[in-house]
């Protein structure tokens, strides 16, 4: 601020040499006035310049420090990926045609592993403890406490309401070895493949009702093929 004031004073003093029209001369002033002006100029000239503000430059980081920083970032990234795709999400490959037309053989899916309460309509992956000795992917039709009914014509109702099934493209020919209506016990699931006439599922005694503990996770997203990429529903 002092340097700025100094510049302003010089312009004011210079203006003293000029008249209102800017045509005046030093000769218009008395010797005393000129001496006072010169003394003021000397005083301003002797004033110390404005103090500079010190700036501290950041110290250069050593290559070892930089390397350790990069290694830490890479390890953190791997840890996040491991947690997400080892504990929260997993990749699943569809094998077979029992979920046609919703899912086809060779589809690659992302399974969400933390959904412990599957509901009617969810597409779930079951462990190899279901009776067939292999993992299965099926759709939950009814969960524990719900009442399921399948008519001789293959129409499905849950709790008295017709089940909306746009994925079922064929009329079901086999309703299974149950006396309907069937109330599903708590903690168990009734599952079927969308390709009803080409699916081994809860209608078969080989699979039967599935314990919720056998559910590995819920299929939530199809990654491949790219032309059909999107949420699984």
| Active-site residue, selected from the candidate residues 21, 76, 138, 233 | 138
Q: Is 59 a catalytic residue?
A: no
Structure tokens, 30: 């008395």
> Of residues 42, 98, 175, 199, which has the active-site annotation?
98
Q: What sign has the CA pseudo-torsion 96, 152, 208, 181?
A: positive
Contact partners, residue 163, CB within 8 Å, separation at least 6 = 120, 141, 156, 157
Distant-in-sequence, close-in-space partners of 3: CB < 8 Å, separation ≥ 6: 49, 50
CA distances (Å), origin 127, targets 24, 87, 133, 205: 104, 16, 8, 17
Tokens describing residue 188: 């168990």
138 is catalytic: yes
Contacts of 183 (CB under 8 A, 6+ apart): 145, 146, 147, 148
CA Rg, the chain, in Å? Answer: 42
Residues involved in catalysis: 98, 138
């Amino acid at each position: 601020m002092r340097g700025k004031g100094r510049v302003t004073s010089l312009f004011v003093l210079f203006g003293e040499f000029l008249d209102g029209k800017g045509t005046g001369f030093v000769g218009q002033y008395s010797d005393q006035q000129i001496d006072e002006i010169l003394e003021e100029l000397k005083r301003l000239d002797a004033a110390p310049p404005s103090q500079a503000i010190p700036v501290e430059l950041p110290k250069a980081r050593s290559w070892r420090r930089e390397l350790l920083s990069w290694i830490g970032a890479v390890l953190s990234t791997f840890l996040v990926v491991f947690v997400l795709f080892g504990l929260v999400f997993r990749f699943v490959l569809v094998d077979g045609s029992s979920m046609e037309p919703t899912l086809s053989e060779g589809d690659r899916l992302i399974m969400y592993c933390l959904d412990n309460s599957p509901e009617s309509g969810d597409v779930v992956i079951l462990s190899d403890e279901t009776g067939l000795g292999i993992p299965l992917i099926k759709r939950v039709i009814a969960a524990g406490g719900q009442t399921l009914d399948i008519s001789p014509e293959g129409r499905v109702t849950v709790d008295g309401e017709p089940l909306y099934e746009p994925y079922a493209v064929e009329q079901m020919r086999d309703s299974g070895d149950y006396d309907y209506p069937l109330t599903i016990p708590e903690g168990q699931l009734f599952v079927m493949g969308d390709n009803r006439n080409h699916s081994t599922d809860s209608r078969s005694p080989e699979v039967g009702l599935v314990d919720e503990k056998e559910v590995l996770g819920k299929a939530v997203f199809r990654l491949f093929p790219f032309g059909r990429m999107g949420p699984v529903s």
